[in-house]
Chain A
Amino acid sequence: MSNIYAALEIGTTRTVLAIGEAKSGERLRVTSHAEIPSTGVRKSQILDISQATTSIRSVLREIEKKQGANGDSLDLSNVFLVVNGQHVKADPYQGTAQVSDGRVTEADIEEVRNSSRLMALPRERELLDIVDQSYELDGLAGISSPKGMSGRVLKLDTLQIHADANRINNARTAAGGVHLEIREPLFSMTCAADAVLSAHDKRNGALVIDLGGGSTGYAVYADGYLVSANVIGVGGDHVTNDIAYAFQTTQSQAEDLKRLESNAIVGGERGASPRVQLTGSSPLMEARAISRRALDTVVNLRLKELFTIIRNELEDQDLTHKLNAGVVITGGGAAQRGIDALIQREFGLPVRTGYPSEVDGFDQTTEAASFASIAGALLYAHRNYEEKSIFKKILKGLFN
């Protein structure tokens, strides 16, 4: 008997729904996924619930067609929601417990874990995750397993990931419009990292950058656990907007220029024509040519600024020297030409594209890198809800 999981991402540029399936103890396989352009969403934030619901309905139909081709329909009464946007925050919090008899027992560990769950959040914030990092015993930090060790005061460092409750509720409402129930909201960055990083990467230290349409997240792993994460409200849409403004184009022309012509490194397209032809989009706009160098400059300045912000934040936390496994780029922005070279220059570290290698069902393409978060959400569901078989295959149409 297989367990079936579903994950939904209502992104700035697209809405994605994916279905994963796995037998107990086996690797998860993504059996189908569908995406359609989002409407009613800007900078990872739903601005029009009815439009967002329409997008979800469309993507559900796509999935239904695919599943129908497999002879199945799905009862999606529980869906894992991928949450992204600059409203997501990761704050450190330390739990403390007195060791009962001078040697750490399971009960002491349980007590310090409970203590680390006491961080009070304002009503408008919703907790997404608590990541246990490492223990500290009488000042000795970085302990991964304190059981049996001698000491008096045990501490546990955690990272508390929380988000704007209203925004998550808006996503719940939008999904509820087509009878999808959100079982658990998940942070996109931990999802993406789980999908693309091996345990070895996490131990050695890696930075995952997820360059989305409306925002860019990063997650830093070292010594096997999540050390730091943040989301910056700048994404691929900003590159498009900059191009539109600089060259007086429509947003769709700018999107094409970004996707098809630009390079994150100025002059990175060796042998390419120095001028890029721009076809007229309306009687008011004549066909013309723009400078490729100027186009690359606009893209380079924006992305360089973004990576500088991330690098500065890592330097402030003294984390840059811990990234021995290098940088992994995921999200739609991974397809930007020259992005790996730019990141390499900015961080001085090896760079690779993050394919969701921890699940089956995706090829190693840059397109697959844009599904890292949703694949990670399915992986989370599989690892945490495997026994519960929460999605039942039933012969039931979704749109009766």
Chain B
Amino acid sequence: MNASPILLIGIGGAGASIARGINRASGDGVRYILADTDATTGSTDAPFVLLGGDRLSGHGAGGDVAQAKLAAEDSLQAIDDAADGVRLVVIVTSLGGGTGGGATHAIARHLRERGVPTIVFATLPFAFEGEERQRNAIGMKATIAEEANAAIFIPLDKLIGDADAMEEALRRAVDTLASAITLFWRLVAKPGYIKLDTERVRHIIAHAGNGRFAVATAQGPNRTVDIVNALSSAQTLTAGTNPVSSILCGVLAGEDLRLSEIGKVADGVRAAFGERCTFDLGTVNDEATFCGRLSVVVMLFEAGGKTADGATIGATTDSSRRGRRLTKNPLSVGPQGRGRFYNAEQTIWRGEDLDRPTYLRRNISLDL
């Protein structure tokens, strides 16, 4: 049995594809399981948890987030069994349909309550998939952001480059995401001279909030400059509006990696995304994979990690705001502060769910 302290869970059909891609790209025995309401997602390549087998009979959730959530809750024991002894869980999934949103939400909450920090990488639908899927995804995005310790949302439109053919675009999106998460995976599972071990990453994830994520690769004499330039303008990193509180940076290269290059990358990333943030850096040395190439993975986290009971920790980096910030309200029903608007038609404006309290979205502390 694979005794890695990190478990990868691919949730839903698309999540399973990404997890398989990560396993393929990593090439060294990722500990992973697949979980879906649709029985056809399972295969012999990885342990498979059929979510809500009695409830849905393996036919899938039919795009129904509520059914998927119930199905996942039916199957939490199987998730517990798979996560036995695990210190950190990485979930990959895709939002817009039923299982990715509903099941991820339930599983992330369960793991967090058990004290297992969870980071979710979730893709958001292509624009062409229509308004309804976009709306579903944005709704679940807020829920998952509340339930997982850290969550990174990646719009698929930003992963396809100039690909136009449908099949190629989808393949490129999945491949790009899988290879990017693989770099993060290797950084944690196979640390190099500068270690970013599981416990350190576990600590960072447990104290993180929403995240952003990008990878850049270059070769040649100016590879560090090229990489810093690429990361500084990466849409997936620059899209956020809330302040960054911590930076996780991984440098992956072959044996030609120089100390001065690590310094240039670290300085460039800090200058681009926050001089005063917590900064953690690790390296991976793999001559066979990276011969002559340099890859850098950067994850930016906003403040606001959660304790096992869901309370927010480190809510703000502004020391002038010392008020108590409420994140849970037993009386206002529904997640994410939607309260009376739970299950109502959402009001989305420039990507924000306006049904959630403004002060919460602005991260304003209230002196109650």
Contacts and interface: CB of A to CB of B under 8 A. Distances in A.
Interface of A: 42-43, 45, 86, 232-234, 237-238, 240-242, 244-251, 285, 290-291, 293-294, 297-298, 301-302, 305, 309
The interface residues of chain A, by DSSP majority, are classed as helix
26 contacts: A42-B340, A43-B344, A45-B344, A45-B345, A86-B347, A233-B355, A237-B341, A241-B340, A241-B357, A242-B358, A244-B329, A244-B340, A245-B332, A245-B339, A246-B359, A246-B366, A248-B330, A249-B331, A251-B339, A291-B367, A297-B364, A297-B366, A298-B357, A301-B358, A302-B357, A302-B358
Contacts of A251: 332, 339-340
Contacts of B331: 244, 248-250, 285
A239 to B, nearest CB: 9
B360 interface: yes
Contacts of A86: 345, 347
B337 A43 contact: no
B362 interface: yes
A249 B358 CA distance: 17
Contacts of A244: 329, 331-332, 339-340
A257 to B, nearest CB: 13
Nearest to A85: B345
Across chains A and B, which 3 residue pairs bring their CB atoms closest together, nearest first?
A233-B347, A242-B357, A301-B358
Contacts of A250: 331
A232 B347 contact: yes
A261 B33 CA distance: 54
A86 B341 CA distance: 14
A243 to B, nearest CB: 9
B326 interface: yes
A285 B367 CA distance: 20
Contacts of A238: 341, 354-355
A290 B366 CA distance: 11
Contacts of B239: none
Contacts of A291: 366-368
A245 B326 contact: yes
A110 to B, nearest CB: 38
Contact of A245 (B323, B344, B360, B368): B360
A258 to B, nearest CB: 13
Contacts of B358: 242, 298, 301-302, 305
Contact of A298 (B344, B347, B366): B366
Contacts of B323: 294
Contacts of B354: 232-234, 238, 305
B343 to A, nearest CB: 9
Interface in B271-298: none
Nearest to B360: A245
Nearest to B346: A233
B128 interface: no
B345 A246 contact: no
Contact of B362 (A45, A285, A301): A301
Interface residues of B, number: 27
Given A43-B344, A233-B354, A245 B366 contact: no
Interface string B18-35: 000000000000000000
Interface in B288-344: 323, 326, 329-332, 337-341, 344
Contacts of B344: 42-43, 45
B262 to A, nearest CB: 43
Contact of A241 (B339, B346, B362, B364): B339
A246 B326 contact: yes
B330 A43 contact: no
Contacts of A305: 354, 358
B341 A241 contact: yes
Contacts of B349: 232, 309
A242 B359 contact: yes
A200 to B, nearest CB: 33
A143 B344 CA distance: 44
The listed residue with most B CB atoms (<10 A of its CB), out of A45, A246, A298, is A246
A245 B347 contact: no
A294 B340 CA distance: 21
Nearest to A86: B347
A35 B203 CA distance: 57
Nearest to A302: B358
A45 B346 CA distance: 12
Given A233-B347, A285-B331, 7 more contacts: A237-B340, A241-B355, A242-B358, A245-B339, A246-B326, A248-B331, A302-B359
Nearest to B330: A248
A301 B359 contact: yes
A347 B235 CA distance: 32
A247 B344 CA distance: 22
B139 to A, nearest CB: 14
B341 A42 contact: yes
Contact of B357 (A45, A246, A249): A246
A42 B339 CA distance: 12
B312 to A, nearest CB: 14
A233 B135 CA distance: 14
A293 B339 contact: no
A115 B82 CA distance: 66
A297 B325 CA distance: 13
B344 to A, nearest CB: 5
Contacts of B339: 241, 244-245, 251
The listed residue with most B CB atoms (<10 A of its CB), out of A86, A242, A245, A285, is A245
Contacts of A240: 340
Contacts of B367: 291, 293-294
A367 B19 CA distance: 59
Contacts of A45: 344-345
A237 B354 CA distance: 12
A308 to B, nearest CB: 10
A392 to B, nearest CB: 39
A290 B345 CA distance: 31
Contact of B368 (A233, A234, A237, A290): A290
Contact of A294 (B345, B355, B360, B368): B368
Contacts of A290: 368
The listed residue with most B CB atoms (<10 A of its CB), out of A234, A241, A250, A290, is A241
Given A43-B345, A244-B332, A301 B355 contact: no
